[in-house]
Amino acid sequence: MNTDLSILSERPQALPMPRSRIIGAYLAEMRSEVVRYLRNPGFVLPTMLFPTVFYLMFGVFMASKNSADASRYLLAAYGTFGVMAPGLFGFGVSLAMERETGLLTLKRALPMPPFAYLLGKMVMAMLVAAGVMTILVVLATTLGHVSLTTAQLVQLYATNVPGVLPFCALGLFIGTFVKGQAAPALINLVYLPMAFLSGLWFPVSVLPKVVGNVVAPLLPSYHLNALALDAVGIAKVALLPHVLMLATFTALVSWIAARRLRRIG
């Protein structure tokens, strides 16, 4: 009897997904991430309120009595402080929880583009960063009496909205180490010291020299703050070195986090 069993040695090939369905999958994942976090006041309110309250206290009520440029300086500093949170907490805490509950494993099994998961979270983080910046700019230009040109506003948004991405990468990396309940505490241990050492609360020049010369240049928040200070007209810096440092940090940390995720799930 001549029986052909060659088909058993061949794996069925998945049909390519139509482009319209691929785009729809990306859009659906973006929408689900945005809606999920907007429905989570425990994430949205602290992210929006912390930099707002700090800027009101130090950038409006106290800084205006000291110097005309103090409110402008602190707009850049607290803008950087504000956009760090959506990346760190939006990626770090959510990834840790989704790993712990098995949601990440389920998403991997779904017929969706592999990058849709990360892109959805990145879009969410950038939208929240834009919201934080808008609140701070409104406070600065009204209560703080900070005058910004259209070009400065455009540069500030172009700096800080995509500037959330290095912190998305760092949050992704942290989320591969801890479980959901431990993630907020660990991220705060990274978030607050990083802000302090980057000169967001005090200028780097008043910190010990080892901080300003060695530690601060290694931190993405330091480079993002330098770009923000340039945007509001406080300091003139060479943009390219800071942009390259942020891009290198984002790419390197994302690559390390992706390798850990492939290994530990």
Q: Is the dihedral of CA 243, 245, 249, 255 positive or negative?
A: positive
Indicate the pTM of the whole model: 0.86
Q: Report which secondary-structure segment, H or E, holds 22.
A: helix 19-38
DSSP calls for 144-206: S-----HHHHHHHHHHHTGGGHHHHHHHHHHHTTS-TTTHHHHHHHHHHHHHHHTTSSS-GGG
Give the residue extent of every domain in the chain: 45-264
Q: Residue 244: what pLDDT?
A: 97
Q: What is the pLDDT of residues 1-32, one digit of tens each?
A: 554 444 334 444 555 667 777 777 778 878 87
Q: What is the pLDDT of residues 180-212, one digit of tens each?
A: 788 888 999 999 999 999 989 888 888 888 988
